[in-house]
Structure 1
Amino acid sequence: QYESLVNPFVILLGIPFMFIGTTIGLLLFGLTVTMPVWLGIIMLSGIVVNNAIVLVEQIELARAKLKEENNNSIHDAIKLAANLRFRPILMTTLTTVIGMLPLAIGLGEGSEMLQPLAIVIVFGLSFSILVSLVLIPVIYDAIHTHTTNQRLSVK
């Protein structure tokens, strides 16, 4: 599946962008970086990487399918993959965010300790959905178009 370092690089590029949403959440609630925040960041990293893997893998499958039909367009593969994976990524993200909302709001006894974890996940995941559905395909397109053009110029 991963014959080169390009696809894992594209997948891992989503991680730095989740810190924007995380930082916004921490600043809005006036929280400091504590152990629950770090746990939330680790959990969030896994979710963001999983979303990116699902999308990049689908793009690769779409490219292979379109190549069989003599269509080498990266743009068509990205459109096809984005259409197929938009709903699953959105649904898993929304269920996680909605599931964390009671904890983020601070409902229930003892929620104060885990509230920073939930805030990090809610804000980070809300922002990273944009990254997963918009930025990952754009980065994939830019990198693969660049590498394809380099291969063509070498031949």
Structure 2
Amino acid sequence: MLPSRNLGYTVTIGGETTERTEVFIQIGQIFIAVVFLIFITMALQFYSLTIPFILFSAVYLAFSGAIFGLFITQTGLGFMSLMGGVSLAGIVVRNGIILIEFIEQRRKAGMNIKDAVSLASRQRFRPIILTSLTTIAGLSPVAFGNSTLFQPLGIAIVFGALFSTILTLFVVPALYLIRAHWKGLMHN
């Protein structure tokens, strides 16, 4: 802000950078609200406060993939790429929920933890891969097309889904086993 000379006016110089900063702050606030709502929903579904953190590990993997994809395609981090990241959170959490739900079902059926994790991972491998591949295939024309508006969104979702799907199938079961070991349930 520049002070005026006895005229009682002030001039604020802003522009694209100021607007972009405000949009990023708003997206960050929306993302925090979405993550909180997802966390509450998962905590109620699984009656656990630790399982949502296991599922959120997939979100971090997805964001890593999205950032990597934006980097290798030399696409800027803007509004649409951030919206792709927010959308990606829901897509990726769904895959983790499917896997954890199957593990929990096997545990309730009396299976020990290692066998339940192994069986659930094998049984859900193909459905998780197929749902992610349909997302990737559906958004590939957007990601690799000529639309300067929607291309960052497509790139963020495609690379984030690809990266997180591959790693979710290994990281989520491993973290579930670590949680079980930490809670002393491994002998069951």
**Which has the larger helix fraction?**
1
Counterpart residue identity of residue 22, structure 1: A
* Residue 53 of structure 2 is aligned to residue 17 of structure 1: no
By how many angstroms is 1:6 displaced? 1.8
C-alpha distance in 1 between matches for 2:94 and 2:185? 29
By how many angstroms is 1:3 displaced? 2.2
TM-score of the superposed pair, with normalisation by structure 1: 0.86
Q: Which runs of 4+ in 1 moved over 3 A?
A: none
By how many angstroms is 1:8 displaced? 1.4
By how many angstroms is 1:30 displaced? 1.3
Kindly indicate whether the alpha-carbon contact (under 8 Å) linking 1:74 and 1:145 is maintained by their aligned counterparts in 2.
no
* Residue 138 of structure 2 is aligned to residue 99 of structure 1: yes
- Percent of aligned pairs sharing the same letter: 38
Match of 2:51 in 1: 7
* Bigger radius of gyration among the two: 2
Match for 1:29 among 55, 73, 78?
73
TM-score of the superposed pair, with normalisation by structure 2: 0.72
* Residue 126 of structure 2 is aligned to residue 51 of structure 1: no
Unmatched tracts of structure 1, length 5 or more: none
Matches within 5 A, 1:122-137: 122-137=158-173
Aligned length, in residue pairs: 144
C-alpha distance in 1 between matches for 2:68 and 2:126? 26
Counterpart residue identity of residue 105, structure 2: L
Match of 1:75 in 2: 114
RMSD: 1.9
